[in-house]
Structure 1
Amino acid sequence: MQIYKVGGAVRDRLLGREVTEVDWVVVGATAEAMQAQGFRPVGADFPVFLHPRTGEEYALARTERKSGRGYGGFTFYASPDVTLEQDLIRRDLTINAMAEDADGGLYDPYGGQRDLEARLLRHVSPAFAEDPLRVLRVARFAARYAPLGFRVAEETLALMAGLAASGELQALTPERSWKEISRALMEPRPDVFIQVLRDCGALKELLPELDALFGVPQAEADHPEIDTGLHILGALRQCAEHRQPLPVRWACLLHDLGKGRTPPSEWPRHVAHEQLGLPLIDAVNTRYKVPRDCQELARLVGEFHGLGHRAPKLSASTLFELLQHFDIYRRPERFEQFIAACEMNARGRKGFEQTAYPQAAYLRGAAAAARAVAVQPLLELGYRGPELGEALKRERLKAVTQYQQGMHGD
């Protein structure tokens, strides 16, 4: 039995990055031998075991063969006669197909170290094209390592394009796709993830509503980058630079989908694009079974980001209604995320990356004024039930009106 450290732990050590997770492959062993040593099997049909003390994953060396569609369409063969080289060749990228022995000796049969130095994301073998999930994985690795200068090798991008054209991406489960998409959005360059998917034709298969935004012009005075798709990439990059949480990044990704529905005869104006985008946002959220917090924020940002940008110019009643939509009294964090999404959106325009966004403080001030209205004085005046709710609403509107007058010097 020989045990090797494999995959990301080897790759990140060679890159000088922190190693957060270690995977191991075991050559020359059987499932019975692993369990005899106290290893716990992860599943009945998969040769992966958990170490009795560390809980780290130890997989028997295996080969795999395509047997159906999608990510799960494979049969595995695990046996003591499977070699390390046979196990490594089934992996996705050369930089993930390296191993280390107990003495730190490096096993690199497919040129992973060479590609690390060349900053290339290259597939290990033609079998790469058997697994559609690898399209998303490679795009995610591109988003992670773009700050180090990595790019996808042309021949690998060609295989990804073939997978996108084959219809295999449609065989991925919503849960598996969302896992990759959500992880990619939290990488240092989520914009690169979207760009790589677009470069290989996968974006129009996975997110056609988003792909449709590229080439759609906006008014240059407001959007010097002009292209709506490029604006989305800019907003995503701002999200990463400002370390925004996943719901904010997801909302920024989807906030302008309605512009893809504007008739070309109306370009570069996009009248009512917020409302046009809502069914598209709902469709994407449903397709990938997106978590509720991401769904809700994406919908709210899609509908109200225009009002957020115009906040200082809104009437007191419109400003107050905006606050009411967000339930700022019980869900203050959701309104904060809305403000963040609006700011990332504004900074995502070419030349506006460092521009202040005074609307953020204005919106926070209005919310604070509304929240400051106390219920007790209204109870003392005898208000109860629905009448109390209406009286509270009037007092909060009055507070927002006074706040607005103070801000404008009225």
Structure 2
Amino acid sequence: MKTSTNIPPHIPLDPALLPPEILLVCRRLLDAGGRAWLVGGCVRDLMLGMIPEDYDLEVYGLQETALTSTLQQIGRCEMVGKQFGVHKLWLKGMEIDLALPRTETKTGSGHCGFAVQVDPDLSPATASLRRDFTINAMMFDPLADTLLDLHGGSADLASRVLRHVSQAFVEDPLRPLRAMQFAARFGLTLAEETAALCRQLLNEAGSLPASRIWTEWRKWSHAPYPSCGLRVLQQSGWLACYAELDALQDCPQDPHWHPEGDVWLHTQQVVDQAAAIAHKNRLDHHTTEQLVFAALCHDLGKTETTRQTENGRIASPGHHQAGLALSQQLLSRMHAPARLITFILPLVQEHMTHLHGKPTPRAVRRLAWRLQPSHIELWEMLVEADASGRAPAPPSRPALAWLEMAQSLQQHRQPAARIVDGNLLMELGIEPGPGMGALLAQAYQAQLNGDFDDIESGRRWCIAHIGK
């Protein structure tokens, strides 16, 4: 294979991973007088031996009208970004993004303050300067089996280093957050010179659209190495944008329980454990987000409650409760969806419950009720991540007995179904209204306490309590 740089042998680029539709499009564009290069993340993924989720082609040597005409002969085609010369092609169930080479010039502040100039006659060397990181700036011609690596991306990928392409990096304030999620996805460290450029962008952090901030954090939560992303955030100076996380640094913990060090180090280990547990249990995207963000937030309250006791030990009494407002603040800074926050807060509040005693049916029922809309199965995973994020201490599952009892009660994924309902109360002569609502709430608490466990015992309980 021809290449402009030496590819380390442990990072193969395998054209056989490409779907035939990509090769077909490249051939048709070549026949029309152009040259199509795979660009961006798909080249990076191919070099890692991964099957890309998305394919992007940059087409040289064809004017826009010729490109459009050729694509329309291949499949359904629409221009989805006229300013950027971007077309979307649908072919045999695939979506392929195609663009003409372009330059981008900074014209204003923020993520979108650019003037774009499309030019099919640009050289790859010039066009690639707008790319963010070297690992995303490689180009691959699958027909000629040629890799074009103008900025050392393959070497950086082999060294697991995230490095900027050019000084144009400082034109887009979203790039430090992109660095965070790339580091988390691929286990990367940040080049110091790139970290310095990230720090120059701090004054534009407030200009980023909410949706773009959340997109980067959401990608971070699905990554296998979230701690790498947190360290990039720290190194780049952008941890300062998240005061609740920034405060975790140097917040002490009792070395007897936490030999790993301060709360910041503990949190890094816990989010990595949460990511591994999510992968092991094949959690869906939504549940993975709930677990990983709960792991990120679980000890935020220690910054407000940590103190030294009279015997010289370090303690953080009530940190699970103090962490609720801080978790709300942090997740709001990330522009997390409100629905996600409602899942995370009860997990944070209850993450110490297993330490208060052995599980009983009553305790498990009440825990399942308090965790809503989350559940004991996910809570146990958070407890496992917390307990296992204390290396060199060994991993453990201290709440497993709680989960097993919840499973035996069929309450590991939802609280107990109500035995006493409105129909039963109406049978007993209770009219709908505030009084019925109050009695229903009282009955459910009695059910959780174990005062009754079936419809007949529930009926007797109601008869005994009507009018009290």
- TM range, normalised to the smaller chain? 0.7 to 0.9
**Letter of the 1:364 counterpart:** A
Report the Cα distance in structure 2 between the residues aligned to 1:69 and 1:285, rounded to whole angstroms: 25
- TM-score, normalization by structure 2: 0.75
What is residue 151 of structure 1 aligned with on the other side? 189
Q: How many residues align?
A: 390
Give yes or no for the alignment of 1:19 onto 2:52: yes
Aligned to 1:110: 151
Work out the CA distance in 1 between the residues paired with 2:81 and 2:209. Answer: 20
1:41 aligned partner, one-letter code: M
Match of 2:298 among 255, 264, 272: 255
| Cα distance in 1 for residues equivalent to 2:195 and 2:247 | 21
Q: Which deviates more from structure 2 when the two are superposed, residues 58-67 or residues 111-120? A: 111-120
User: What secondary structure is seen at the aligned counterpart in 1 of 2:350?
Assistant: helix
Pick one of 59, 63, 88 that aligns with 1:50. 88
CA contact (8 A) 2:270 2:388 kept: yes
Q: Any residues of structure 2 matched to 1:9-408 within 5 Å, and which?
A: 9-37=42-70, 38=72, 39-53=77-91, 54-101=94-141, 102-146=143-187, 150-164=188-202, 167-205=203-241, 207-243=242-278, 245-262=288-305, 268-312=314-358, 316=362, 320-327=365-372, 331=373, 334-357=375-398, 358-361=400-403, 364=406, 368=410, 371=416, 374-375=419-420, 379=424, 382=428, 385-386=436-437, 387-398=439-450
Alpha-carbon distance, 1:353 to partner: 4.2
Q: Which sections of structure 1, spanning at least 5 residues, go unmatched?
A: 402-410
Distance 2:405 2:264 in 1: 27
2:49 equivalent to 1:6: no
Determine the C-alpha separation between the residues in 2 that align with 1:58 and 1:22.
9
Larger radius of gyration: 2
**TM-score normalised to structure 1 length:** 0.85
> Which secondary structure state, in structure 2, belongs to the residue aligned with residue 57 of structure 1?
strand
Contact 2:359/2:405 (CA < 8 Å) preserved in 1?
A: no
- Partners of 2:443 and 2:343 in 1: how far apart? 29
Deviations 1:165-224 (A, max 9, x none): xx122221221111111101211100110111112211112x111110110012223222
**More deviation, 190-199/46-55:** 46-55
Task: After superposing the two structures, state which structure 1 stretch, 30-39 or 365-374, moved more.
Answer: 365-374
Give the aligned CA root-mean-square deviation in angstroms.
Answer: 3.0
Distance 1:363 1:62, change over 3 A: farther
- Structure 1's 351 and 200: CA in aligned 2 closer, same or farther, altered over 3 A? same
Question: In the TM superposition, what is the alpha-carbon distance from 1:52 to its structure 2 partner?
Answer: 4.2
Deviates more, 1:379-388 or 1:289-298: 379-388
Query: For residues 113 and 225 of structure 1, what CA distance do their matches in structure 2 show?
Result: 34
Secondary structure at 2:68 match in 1: helix
1:58 partner letter: L
Alignment gaps of 5+ in structure 2? 1-33, 431-435, 454-468
Return the alpha-carbon distance in structure 2 between the equivalents of residues 362 and 188 of structure 1: 27
Cα 1:88–1:323 shift into 2, 3 Å: same
Q: For 1:121, give the aligned amino acid.
A: L
Q: Assess if the C-alpha contact under 8 Å between 2:300 and 2:323 holds in 1.
A: yes
- Report percent identity of matched pairs: 31
CA contact (8 A) 1:69 1:171 kept: yes
State the alpha-carbon separation in 2 of the partners of residues 341 and 94 from structure 1. 36
